[in-house]
Structure 1
């Protein structure tokens, strides 16, 4: 079995730290960060995590013929998909033996460089302060941010062209915003019918009704087209560890 597309390639020893982005599940009991997949392997260590093969392989991780390793996306826009409440986005710094793919890397060692608080905690001051304290105690070398946007602004993607890699943002957020805008526009137009003068609908001719029907069908087709682009193509499997 080869590595997931987008995270595959030949192993390389990167001479400096690689910055990446990924999701974790925040455990509010002790402030630990669990991988969203293969969480049975336990939370990441505050001093740095060392990769193992979660499938029980006896090879060193990452391995080009396996999907093991510590995953990270090159661009933060690709680390926004959430599979549940309480997940957080984090910046990680990887080093050592790494497999560099087109969209992200798999590394042998990595540490948490920064983490943004869970979305729900940002609006509750007491929970926000408690989460900050827990994360600070568990990951003393990581910066804790209330805003994901500020975290990314202060920890931007690294230019990797010297390694032959072009860091590309995901187009998913743009399509999500477009789909939401088109949906809201259609809803507003539908409810605006109530503002028409009394008897206007009964006086509408066949051409007007055909225009309304055509507009409704076009609205639905556009929504379906945008919805099909609101997720990245299934090119990669979820991060393993």
Structure 2
């Protein structure tokens, strides 16, 4: 288990061979834009569940609702909360790439993604970390074993998401039941193997591309079942452009892979 409390809340750097590892083995990246109604509660819940073993990195795209200010106020009373602010809305994919590079530079062993809106249950994070014992990427799947674990989505959005998953599997051959899921955990090893600065896709496409690149490199991917609950506060950041990009990205990835330019 990752969760442990040795009474020392200050960060330390541990030397392990030629690699420098952070005292907290896991970093959770949370991109935000106008999440003031959710972020304080989420940070509090994460810190309550994982008081010492998980650090949190919020990447905020200059939210006009004061999301970053709320994170700064939480930093005054909680350890292990980090904040990167960006000048404008720059997209989910670039936010995660920024977080991955930060996590690798700081020496975390595991780097997880999650949404800020409670659609991803923070209590499930421990299952991701446990599953990393024999995987390099663990994906929280809404559609594992032909089930549909989604709550409060309109039927149209559910059909779109399920069809995107089937379409991605059909075109790429990638054996992942939920390739567009945004709740997942990477090992530092797999992220170091990728040329992260070449990844420019956003939204659904970003998740598909990351999974595909990990799979094509031969790393072990595992899926664990999750229940996805649609946000009750705030608005979805998914756009029509994200959907259009996801339609062609699978063909782009497949062709690049075939000609050896991935």
- Which protein, 1 or 2, shows the higher relative CO under an 8 Å CA cutoff with sep ≥ 6? 1
Structure with higher helix content:
2
Structure with higher strand content:
1
Q: TM-score, normalised by structure 1?
A: 0.29
Q: TM-score, normalised by structure 2?
A: 0.27
Q: Which has the larger radius of gyration?
A: 1
